[in-house]
Structure formats: structure tokens, C-alpha cells
Amino acid sequence: MTSETMRGVGEQAASLDACLRYFISSMETVYNQTITDTLHTIYNTESARIEYDVDRNDISAATNPPQGQLTKNLPVGATEKCEEKKAKYEKLKNDAKIKMRLLEENRISVVAAQLEKLQSALAAYYSGNAKLLEASVRELSFLQSPQPSFIPTM
């Protein structure tokens, strides 16, 4: 009887471990892919804005020099280059807005769903309900994700 009990506890612990690993992996995915991608887009937007501002200020300085200075000739294609940089900046700015909105919507729904699954698995484990715990593991079994990076494999 004792060995069967211990075997059952071991199986339940393994099931809970699988649920915890899935939860952690899902949270890593949210951070490593979604948030990182959004931040990368924001950094690119800022770089594009700086490039556009430099060209815009160069054109402004060439066409409206301070008093007492001669008007400078613009390099060939400077205005077109400035317009291209403006278009790039506007596109990245729009992309960043969209990604921020989607990130906010998805982050909340993904985290809430994962917390519900984790709560269900923890409740089943601590109540000793092997069937409910097994159902939680089965629900996650088709969603298997890679091993979380900071948890060693046992």
C-alpha cells in the first residue's frame, strides 16, 4: 500500500511539474518573443525618427539660412531621401502603435489563461484529485512547448 501511494504521489508530482514547465515556458514566450519584438520596433522607430529629423533640419537649414549667410544648394535627391525617411518613420510609428495595442490585449488574455490552467493543476494536486490533475496535463499535452531555459531537465 505504501509503495502504491508513493508511486501515485510521484506520478502526480510529475504531472504538476509538466504543468509548471508549460506555464513558465508560456510566460517566457510572451516575454522573449512578443515584448522583445515590440521593444525592437520601438527602438527602430526612434532611430528612424532621428534620421528623419537630421535630414529635415539639413533641408531647413539649407533653404532658410540664418541672416547674413548665403543659401546653400541642396544635394541632388535630398528632398526625396528625406521623404523616404519620413515614410519609414511613419510606418514604424504605426507598427509600434499596433504592436503595443496587440501586446496589451494578448498579454492579459494569455497570462489569464495560463494562470487559470496553473490554478486548476495546483488545486487538483493539493486536493489529491488525480483525475483532475491528469485532465489538466492532457489539456496541456497537445500544447507542449520547449523546456524553459532556466529549469534543468530531471
Residues 6+ apart with CB under 8 A from 77: none
Task: Report the top-level CATH class of 19-68+77-141.
Answer: mainly alpha
Task: Compute the distance between CA of residue 28 and CA of residue 33 in angstroms, rounded to an integer.
Answer: 8
Q: Tell me: the pLDDT tens digits for 123-154?
A: 877 777 777 777 777 776 655 554 545 445 54
Look up the pTM and report it: 0.61
Contact 112, 23 (CB under 8 A): no
Domain ranges of the chain: 19-68+77-141
pLDDT at 20 over 90: no
Considering only CA atoms, which of 44, 21, 18 is closest in space to residue 151?
Answer: 21
Q: Tell me: the pLDDT tens digits for 50-97?
A: 999 999 998 888 888 777 676 677 778 888 999 999 999 999 999 999
DSSP code of 34? I
